[in-house]
Amino acid sequence: MWNKNKSFSAQQTQNYINFKSTFLIIIIYSWILIADINGKNVNEGSFKYLESISAEEWKRDLEFGIESFNAQIRLEKNLINSHVSVENGSISHNQILDALPNEAAKMDNNIARKLLAASNYILHSKCLPHFIQGEECQQFLTSKAIPENSLLLQECLEIIENRRNGHNSFRRLLNRRYNDGIYQILPLISPLMVSTKLQNLNLGARSKELEDRERNMAVIQWTQFIEHDLSKPVVTTMRDGSYIECCDRDNFELLPRYRHPSCEPLVMTSGGSKYAKINCLNYVRSAVAVGAKCTFGDVEQLNQATSDLDLSQLYGTTDEAQNRIRSFFKGQIKSSGNGRSQKRYNDQLPLINEGSQKYCAFKNHFNHTGRCFMAGDSRVNSSPLTISIYTLFMRNHNQIAEKLAIRYPSWSDEDLFQTTRALNTQIYRNIIYDELLPIVLGRDVADKIKQGSFRKAHVDDERISNEFSVAAMRFYLSMMPNFLKNSTEAKRLKYSTYDLVSNPNSNIFRSETAVSLIDQMYKPNLAYTHKEIDTIFESILNQSAMKLDTIYEDSLILNDFGINRPNHSDVLAYDIQRGRDHGLRSYIDYLELATGEKIESWKDLESFISATDLRLLKSIYNDVKTIDLLVGAMAEKNELGAIVGPTFKYILAEQFSQIYQKQKRVANSTLPEFQEFKMVSAVDLLCANTELQEIQRNLFSLTSDKNLPITCDERVKLLRV
């Protein structure tokens, strides 16, 4: 615990204040002018003024922005000395693992933030005083190149020229929406308040059917796995790599002198919180990246993941991450065998020993009872669902590599690894486009994506859209239950744990036949033997998903244990805040993009949202124009044959269409294995990499008269050695 009363030295404080004083005066002056800007047309003279600014003055503005960014180093040193940082095993540690930046991302962010600081300075010192509003200023800055003789331009060009796999900026379907047009989050209703009101108001609707009678939890499992492949917005860190904490360890707001500029914590006052006077949960703004032009305004949030369905969540996005998981023997990747069998389909993921705090949120690495697994992405241990599917593709890789090594004994380890990865990825892609997307988007849209006839919002752009990443692809969280349980259709197999004593700090009931998903989040303590993983898959196949709606299960948002402080984050509030951090526009703007319907009043939404849900939204948002994209799209009626409504359906289909067309342009290998494995189904994949005896024909739907189980006997031969 840090000392809340500890102050910075008088000299340090004075230095910081002296540096900031000029900038603060400019900001105050610009605030006075903002009122005059509204209602005035920006004349051509204003933009001519910006065009007339000399190259030397642009360079001075850039240097001032860089200096203001560098000034944060003094603040950060004081925060570290005062122990204001993320504690291992804390709520904030869980959030860090969900958005963990690597070293390359930190470097990209530092370069982009200098540009962002310069843009912010220009907004207040030049645009607003000349009645040029934020959005117009930003558009101008996007076309304004960084001065040629600046070091920052060289650094920016070096990033673009050596752009790594992943580490791109997100693109946008619609222009950004910020309070100042550049980066300031809009002052809307608290995300925690939205989450709390949705929960409380939905209590009256609990009598309605909450479970999806058709889809099972495999839809959730695979969607989350794909999200890990395509999307990873990561948090900003301090310059020395330390993680930023925005709340104290009792979940109160920090005093202003301890608050990092990248902090936008989730805060709700006592009027809406059931905890203490202030309920504070950590939120650090996402890291940013330069675009492709090295201009002042061309800064967007950074996506550390690749923009392709390439199993990078398993294999890693950098050479360092990939080398960490490779065995460098006959094309294999690392695994941890069960000690009793040499069968590849019984192996577990490799265990991480040193550096486990980058994969698991245990308080003390040397004093915990669980296992911590390693993969190419820090999110591997986020739940039993993720651990099991990462394990599935690890096993499949090693089985294919073993088959290839037998067929092609002269191949090198590198040849075996790269070919195996390509084959594993082909199987993965085919299942997504042929089996999963028809369930999520409907068969008609899935077919249009493959035919190349789906209407797209933009010209070809291989990057992932902001809207897809932080809103649409998160739809599965509304379908997540509290527990992973053994259904009556499963064989009543029991889960085993290393620690059979219930966690006294947990608010979630744990038994031998049900596993609390929130308790397992980055704290895996199941045994994860090969039989245990089979049990998890059997549960996933036989347990209903929840219906997609505005109801999140209690364990994702509520903190019932303890009187004065929460014990886990609020997933819905966090995602709402991240949407605002990324500058997403209002829900109705995206509904118009998806359907062409202009929404000007609550009544205009009646054909898209049920009367019950519409009343709920009206009681939370004071204006139809302020509905968050995530909340509005989840409230939509689902379209025929799909899980999602029209808005998410459009955003998801637009992105998968971009990816599919890119994949078609890449020629397949002529190796016979690419044709041999072309028709491998999800059932084939699961049969060959577990000891399950039978699986329903459609992996993503519950067993029924129309979806009967089939035996695995004949399905294992294609992939097993």
Can you tell me the mean pLDDT for 133-158? 91
Q: How confident is the model at residue 345 (pLDDT cuts 50, 70, 90)?
A: confident
Euclidean distance between the first and the last CA atom of the chain, given in angstroms as a whole number = 55
Does the pLDDT of residue 37 top 50, yes or no?
Answer: no
pLDDT for res 82: 92
Q: How confident is the model at residue 309 (pLDDT cuts 50, 70, 90)?
A: very high
Q: Where on the phi/psi map is residue 199: left (φ > 0), alpha (ψ -120 to 50), or beta? A: alpha
pLDDT for res 280: 87
Q: How confident is the model at residue 261 (pLDDT cuts 50, 70, 90)?
A: very high
Can you tell me the mean pLDDT for 443-447? 96
Taking the C-alpha atoms of residue 429 and residue 468, their distance in angstroms, rounded to an integer, is 18
Cβ atoms of 307 and 464 closer than 8 Å? yes
Q: How confident is the model at residue 533 (pLDDT cuts 50, 70, 90)?
A: very high
pLDDT for res 626: 97
Of 330-344, 422-436, 677-691, 692-706, where does mean pLDDT reach its minimum? 330-344
What's the whole-model pTM score? 0.90
Token pair of 276, please? Answer: 């203490």
Q: Checking DSSP bridges between strand 514-516 and strand 168-169, what pairing results, if any?
A: unpaired
Q: How confident is the model at residue 34 (pLDDT cuts 50, 70, 90)?
A: very low
pLDDT for res 557: 82
Of the candidates 523, 525, 526, 628, the residue with the CA atom closest to the CA atom of residue 574: 628
Token pair of 154, please? Answer: 């060289």
Tell me, letter by letter, the H, E, C secondary structure of 128-141: HHHCCCHHHHHHHH
Mean pLDDT of the chain: 86
302 forms bridges with which residues in the sheet? 169
Q: Where are the alpha helices (DSSP H) in 366-436?
A: 384-407, 413-431
Token pair of 122, please? Answer: 């220009």
Of the candidates 342, 357, 420, 431, the residue with the CA atom closest to the CA atom of residue 389: 431
pLDDT for res 527: 87
Cβ atoms of 167 and 292 closer than 8 Å? no
Q: Say how many residues make up the chain.
A: 721
Q: Where are the alpha helices (DSSP H) in 584-645?
A: 587-595, 611-620, 629-635
Can you tell me the mean pLDDT for 627-638? 97
Taking the C-alpha atoms of residue 471 and residue 468, their distance in angstroms, rounded to an integer, is 6
Token pair of 401, please? Answer: 């590599």
Does the pLDDT of residue 245 top 50, yes or no?
Answer: yes
Of 20-29, 188-197, 293-302, 615-624, where does mean pLDDT reach its minimum? 20-29
Token pair of 699, please? Answer: 């992996």
Question: Tell me: the pLDDT tens digits for 566-606?
Answer: 667 899 999 999 999 999 999 999 999 999 999 999 999 99
Q: Which domains does the chain have, with CATH numbers?
A: 10-162+234-303 (no CATH), 190-232+305-346+386-507+527-561+571-721 (1.10.640.10)
Does the pLDDT of residue 31 top 50, yes or no?
Answer: no
pLDDT for res 485: 85
Does the pLDDT of residue 288 top 80, yes or no?
Answer: yes
**E strands, 522-665, where?**
544-546
Can you tell me the mean pLDDT for 250-259? 89
pLDDT for res 427: 97
Cβ atoms of 386 and 379 closer than 8 Å? yes
Per-position DSSP letters for 266-306, written without gaps between them? EEEETTT-SSSSEEEE--BPBPEEE-SS-BTT-EEEEE-S-
Does the pLDDT of residue 130 top 70, yes or no?
Answer: yes
Can you tell me the mean pLDDT for 521-538? 92
Per-position DSSP letters for 195-242, written without gaps between them? HHHHHHHHGGGTTS--EEEEEETHHHHHHHHHHHHH--B-B-B-TTSP
pLDDT for res 64: 92
pLDDT for res 14: 47
Can you tell me the mean pLDDT for 385-406? 97
3-class secondary-structure state, position 64: helix
Does the pLDDT of residue 499 top 60, yes or no?
Answer: no
Does the pLDDT of residue 564 top 70, yes or no?
Answer: no
Question: Tell me: the pLDDT tens digits for 467-486?
Answer: 999 999 999 999 999 999 87
Token pair of 395, please? Answer: 């096993």
3-class secondary-structure state, position 526: strand
Does the pLDDT of residue 268 top 80, yes or no?
Answer: no
Query: Residues with Cβ < 8 Å from 531, sequence gap 6 or more?
Result: 493, 691
Residue 691 gets which letter from DSSP? -
Per-position DSSP letters for 455-498, written without gaps between them? --SSS---SPBHHHHHTGGGGGGGG--SEEE--TTTT-PPP-BS
Token pair of 92, please? Answer: 């904030």
Of 28-32, 114-118, 293-297, 612-616, where does mean pLDDT reach its minimum? 28-32
Can you tell me the mean pLDDT for 257-271? 86
- Tell me the one-letter amino acid at 11: Q
